[in-house]
């Protein structure tokens, strides 16, 4: 029996972020109604202004603190699917790991689930985790030839993360600890909804929120930082942090929506990743795509830094949910064109 999607309501936290806004757009384009969770009325309205043809099926609620008890109680009322994509990024510093990263990630996820458990209509919760929740401890070093899957977990304790001075360690820990806390909650409380987690690598693509990009930020474009730097002639290749792999925001959003719809999604983790590009490869690719454009510099005598040889197996989401990924080059090209369109001289 076919489902009338126009009668179903999808709740999206992190509504004005790169991923959250794309999830909202993807759900709306599929025919759903969407309620977004945001901390700013003004930012919520910007999404409607960017997508006026969809505005009549969009509403949003203001949640100032996603870690507060009952934070999502009003937001979940009447909701069918809850996609919780709100979570901190890698910290700028490690002065307050607990306050800026760990508690927002862990308590934010738990409060989302507690509120969801109070809404009898709610069928599924999809939680955004990260491939960082699966990779081995970054302090161990390279695990040559290791292929990480959904069966792997990042081994870390709360105290280790709280006291760490390595930003990525803290970020990865927050993802692993938050996801584990979510699975433990479902196991112990046995709520009326099912849980699925999505583990994307670093996400590239156009931000659909309508919120202006702050190019004075040290990390312009948020997770699109590597591309923004590669396009900037005032920067150089050593400033590009090469991720272990990347994924198109459109594919990541599609994975979340498929997890809400597919009968085999409940109770599963899904890694979503395309391929790895080294810092100098970004510049080489853009030199071909944008001939004559000044790009980030490659210093004379540049030596490629050591590269981890481990990889992720992202085939499960394709086999089980039927997700079709964009070609990596298409993701890079589209993201670069978008960044150039909003600021030609990055």
pLDDT in tens, 169-204: 888 899 999 999 999 999 999 999 999 999 999 999
Both tokens of 310, joined, read 């481990």
**What tens digit of pLDDT does each residue of 112-161 get?**
999 999 999 999 999 999 999 998 655 555 566 788 999 999 888 999 98
pLDDT over 90 at 296, yes or no: yes
CA distance 86 to 73: 16
Does 254 or 167 have the greater pLDDT score? 254
Q: pTM for the complete prediction?
A: 0.94
**What tens digit of pLDDT does each residue of 23-61 get?**
999 999 999 999 999 998 899 999 999 999 999 999 999
Residue 244 to residues 31, 249, 257, 314: CA-CA distances in angstroms?
Answer: 34, 16, 24, 13
**319: number of Cβ within 10 Å:** 9
Q: Which distant-in-sequence residues (6+ apart) come within 8 Å of 103 by Cβ?
A: 67
CA distance 234 to 224: 17
Domains of the chain: 5-214+246-274+308-325 (3.40.50.720)
Does 221 or 183 have the greater pLDDT score? 183
* pLDDT, position 162: 92
8-state DSSP, 297: B
Q: Are 129 and 201 in contact (CB under 8 A)?
A: no
pLDDT over 90 at 304, yes or no: no
Q: Give the three-class secondary structure for 175.
A: helix
Q: Which distant-in-sequence residues (6+ apart) come within 8 Å of 106 by Cβ?
A: 174, 177, 178, 181
Q: What is the mean pLDDT of residues 192-218?
A: 89
Nearest of 169, 151, 168, 152 to residue 160 by alpha carbon: 169
Both tokens of 266, joined, read 């409940």
* pLDDT, position 16: 92
Q: Name the pLDDT band for 90 (thresholds 50, 70, 90).
A: confident
* pLDDT, position 71: 95
Both tokens of 31, joined, read 């025919």
Using alpha carbons only, what angle is made at residue 106 by residues 70 and 153, rounded to the nearest 5 degrees?
145
Q: What is the mean pLDDT of residues 230-245?
A: 85
pLDDT over 80 at 316, yes or no: yes
Does 170 or 325 have the greater pLDDT score? 325
pLDDT over 90 at 213, yes or no: no
Q: Give the three-class secondary structure for 103.
A: helix
**Residues 196, 199, 205, 206: is their CA dihedral positive or negative?**
positive
* pLDDT, position 142: 55
Q: Are 221 and 145 in contact (CB under 8 A)?
A: no
* pLDDT, position 263: 97
Q: Give the three-class secondary structure for 139.
A: coil
pLDDT over 80 at 264, yes or no: yes
Q: Give the three-class secondary structure for 258.
A: helix
Q: What is the mean pLDDT of residues 311-335?
A: 96
* pLDDT, position 345: 64
Q: Give the three-class secondary structure for 35.
A: strand
Both tokens of 100, joined, read 């800026």
Does 177 or 342 have the greater pLDDT score? 177
* pLDDT, position 138: 56
* CA dihedral of 240, 243, 248, 249, whole degrees rounded to 10: -80
8-state DSSP, 102: I
CA distance 166 to 147: 24
* pLDDT, position 216: 66
CA distance 132 to 155: 11
Does 326 or 342 have the greater pLDDT score? 326
């Amino acid at each position: 029996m076919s489902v009338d999607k126009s009668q179903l309501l999808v709740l999206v936290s992190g509504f004005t972020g790169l991923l959250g806004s794309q999830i909202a757009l993807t759900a709306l384009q599929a025919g759903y109604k969407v309620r977004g969770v945001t901390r700013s009325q003004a930012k919520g309205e910007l999404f409607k202004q960017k997508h006026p043809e969809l505005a009549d099926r969009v509403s949003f609620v203001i949640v100032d603190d996603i870690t507060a008890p009952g934070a999502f109680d009003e937001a979940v009322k009447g909701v069918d699917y809850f996609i919780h994509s709100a979570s901190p990024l890698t910290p700028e510093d490690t002065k307050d790991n607990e306050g800026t990263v760990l508690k927002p990630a862990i308590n934010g996820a738990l409060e989302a689930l507690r509120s969801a458990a109070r809404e009898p209509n709610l069928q599924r919760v999809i939680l955004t985790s990260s491939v960082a929740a699966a990779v081995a401890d970054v302090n161990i070093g390279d695990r040559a030839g290791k292929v990480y899957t959904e069966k792997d977990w990042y081994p870390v304790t709360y105290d280790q993360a709280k006291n760490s001075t390595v930003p990525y360690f803290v970020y990865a820990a927050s993802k692993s600890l938050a996801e584990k806390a979510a699975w433990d909650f479902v196991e112990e409380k046995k709520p009326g909804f099912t849980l699925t987690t999505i583990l994307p690598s670093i996400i590239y693509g156009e931000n659909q929120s309508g919120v202006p990009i702050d190019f004075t930020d040290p990390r312009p474009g948020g997770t699109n930082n590597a591309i923004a730097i590669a396009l900037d002639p005032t920067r150089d290749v050593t400033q590009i942090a090469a991720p272990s792999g990347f994924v198109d925001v459109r594919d990541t959003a599609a994975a979340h929506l498929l997890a809400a719809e597919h009968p085999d999604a409940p109770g599963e983790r899904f890694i979503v990743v395309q391929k790895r590009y080294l810092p100098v490869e970004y510049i080489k690719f853009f030199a071909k795509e944008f001939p004559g454009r000044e790009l980030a510099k490659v210093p004379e005598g540049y030596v490629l830094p050591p590269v981890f040889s481990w990889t992720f197996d992202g085939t499960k989401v394709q086999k089980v949910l039927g997700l079709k990924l964009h070609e990596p080059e298409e993701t890079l090209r589209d993201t670069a064109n978008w960044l150039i369109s909003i600021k030609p001289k990055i």
